[in-house]
Amino acid sequence: MLDRKAFDSISYSIAIIGSCLDGAFRGCAVNSLQQLTSSMPAKFAVTLNKYNVTEAAVEQTGAFCATVAAADCPEAIIKLFGYKSGRVTDKFAEYDTKTDEAGCPYITEGMAVRMSFRVTQQVDLGSHVMFIAEVTEAEVLLPGAVLTVEMFKNAGKVIPANAPVYRTLDEHYGYRCTICGYVHKSDTLPDDFRCPVCKQPASKFEKL
Amino acid sequence: MLDRKAFDSISYSIAIIGSCLDGAFRGCAVNSLQQLTSSMPAKFAVTLNKYNVTEAAVEQTGAFCATVAAADCPEAIIKLFGYKSGRVTDKFAEYDTKTDEAGCPYITEGMAVRMSFRVTQQVDLGSHVMFIAEVTEAEVLLPGAVLTVEMFKNAGKVIPANAPVYRTLDEHYGYRCTICGYVHKSDTLPDDFRCPVCKQPASKFEKL
């Protein structure tokens, strides 16, 4: 038996990963930040979809900043970092942005904690890359509960297509946006179709 | 700034990992089960402390079963799988145990879902090993909310010493049980001291 509904049960926090690509700030929302070891310097992992510009940024910079969203994080922030592509939007331009000692960007609004990391290992997972990294900085911004995927789903939101936990019934069905990774589940793709995530035209889609 | 309290904010589910070592069932509770990719066969990761017998079992068998604890999972189950060492207790003997197609053990009492995995990659993290694995079986046992570390902590419980999220103020202070990894934070270790986790005597401790 292989019932994918079982996957949905695991609880995840929502974090925003920030790094730099060719001098520009890049970032995205993920559900995949996790502590791996506790001996200092503690190791964490974050898994990023290869379609995300942030993946290329972390690979280039070898460092990233992570903020964990607070339970009352404004929905607009998660939507901006989770659903819009850094190829078409300068996400950090819309909020007051700080940088850590390595120059990686982060916002404080709606965030519970901020941690900075230096990448030590990289694991190719096919569609995603896992970055294993040592913590270099950590601070509590706002004590209290954090936002989980479950809380976000229960508020009627859907999970972005690039998330490790994104669910599709058939991976080889539909059309995928080559810019942001969104999958349109349909037999056909109208010529005037635009990606609901990154607004790119039908010509940027590939058939699965 | 490096405030370790920031690490505590991330939300994790609690899962029980089961595998086999030299024909015997081995298992432990973890906070480190996570989905990595969604394309089938989806990849997951679990990080296990090298002090845990379960780590050796997964390494030997190349397969493991994972059950995610339901929100109302009896505390005795988490304590058994999280705080007792498989070297001194046959954990699976105390509950009705089933096996998956690979022969890995799991219990259903108090569990929300069951998933089985085949290990494809292994990453050495020093104190822990991360196993990256493809899902082979998955089933929902009990629909509903799952237990998180936060819920467990809020019920007055502490986190086992071998967990990736275990917190110590100074890693090089105290005495560590060489059997289960528990760390006794003190300048001295009395001769009649016994490990509160696995009940081993002071002679089994090493100074950090």
Residues of chain B contacting residue A17, judged by C-beta atoms under 8 Å apart: none
- Interchain contact A122–B (C-beta under 8 A): no
Looking at every residue in chain B, the average pLDDT score rounds to 87
What's the confidence (pLDDT) of residue A170? 43
Nearest to A140 among B6, B11, B113 (CB): B6
Any CB–CB contact under 8 A between B154 and chain A? Answer: no
Our CA-based measurement puts residue A93 at a distance from the nearest CA of chain B, in whole angstroms, of: 25
Residue A3 belongs to some domain of the structure: no
Round the average pLDDT of chain A to a whole number and report it: 87
pLDDT at A194: 82
**Full residue range of the structural domain in which residue A186 is found:** 168-208
Cis peptide upstream of residue A160 (ω within 30 degrees of 0):
no
The structure tokens 């696995």 sit at B198
Residues B128 and B98 in one domain: yes
pLDDT for the residue numbered B169: 39
Examine the domain organization and report whether B103 and B178 are in the same domain: no
pLDDT in the model for residue B36: 93
Q: Give the chain B residue nearest A128 (alpha carbons).
A: B37
Task: Tell me the pLDDT tens digit for each residue of B87-143.
Answer: 778 899 989 999 999 999 999 999 999 999 999 999 999 999 999 999 999 999 988
- A45-49, A102-106, A150-154: segment of lowest average pLDDT: A150-154
Do the domain assignments include residue A161?
no
Q: Are residues B108 and B14 in the same domain?
A: yes
Q: Are residues B45 and B84 in the same domain?
A: yes
* Interval A195-206: pLDDT, tens: 776 778 899 888
- Rounded to whole angstroms, the Cα distance separating A120 from B11 reads 23
User: Which residues of chain A are within 8 Å of residue B113 when distances are taken between CB atoms?
Assistant: 6, 9
What value does the mean pLDDT take over residues A65-94? 89
Q: Give the residue from B1, B11, B121, B173 with the most A CB atoms within 10 Å of its CB, the best one to mutate.
A: B11
pLDDT at B170: 44
Looking up residue A110, the CATH number of its domain turns out to be 2.30.110.10
Q: For residue B43, list chain A residues with Cβ-Cβ distance below 8 A.
A: 125-126
CA dist., res. B88 & res. B73, Å (int): 23
How distant is the alpha carbon of residue B119 from its chain centre?
Answer: 17
3-state secondary structure chain A: CECHHHHHHCCEECEEEEEEECCEEEEEEECCCEECCCCCCCEEEEEEECCCHHHHHHHHHCEEEEEEEECCCCHHHHHHHHHCCCCCCCHHHHCCEEECCCCCEEECCCEEEEEEEEEEEEEECCCEEEEEEEEEEEEECCCCCECEHHHHHHCCCCCCCCCCCCCCCCCCCCEEECCCCCEECCCCCCCCCECCCCCCEHHHEEEC
pLDDT (0 to 100) of residue A18: 97
Q: For residue A172, tell me if it sits in a domain.
A: yes
Assess whether pLDDT exceeds 80 at residue B21: yes
- B27 and B76 share one domain: yes
Which tokens go with B176? Answer: 């560590």
Shared-domain flag, residues A87 and A125: yes
Interchain proximity B7–A42, CB inside 8 Å:
yes
Per-residue pLDDT reduced to its tens digit, B156-165: 676 666 776 6
User: Could A1 and B43 be called an inter-chain contact, meaning their C-beta atoms sit closer than 8 Å?
Assistant: no
| CATH number, position A204 | 2.20.28.10
Of A10, A37, A127, Cβ closest to residue B39: A127
Number of domains, chain B: 2
Task: Give percent of chain B with pLDDT exceeding 70.
Answer: 88
In a domain, B164, yes or no: no
One domain, residues A93 and A116: yes
Using left for φ > 0, alpha for ψ between -120 and 50, and beta otherwise, residue A144 falls in left
A178 versus B98: which is more confidently predicted?
Answer: B98
Is residue B3, in this structure, part of any structural domain at all? no
Residue A188 forms contact with B (CB below 8 Å): no
Q: Which two tokens stand for residue B90?
A: 């046959």
Closest CA to A164 of A35, A18, A28: A28
Residues B78 and B145 in one domain: yes
The CA-based angle B12-B16-B20, given to 5 degrees, is 140
The shortest CB-CB distance from B168 to any of A12, A38, A146 is to A38
Query: Within 13 Å, how many C-alpha atoms sit on residue A93's CB side?
Result: 5
Note whether A59 and A136 are same-domain residues.
yes
Asked whether residue A11 carries a pLDDT value surpassing 50, the answer given is yes
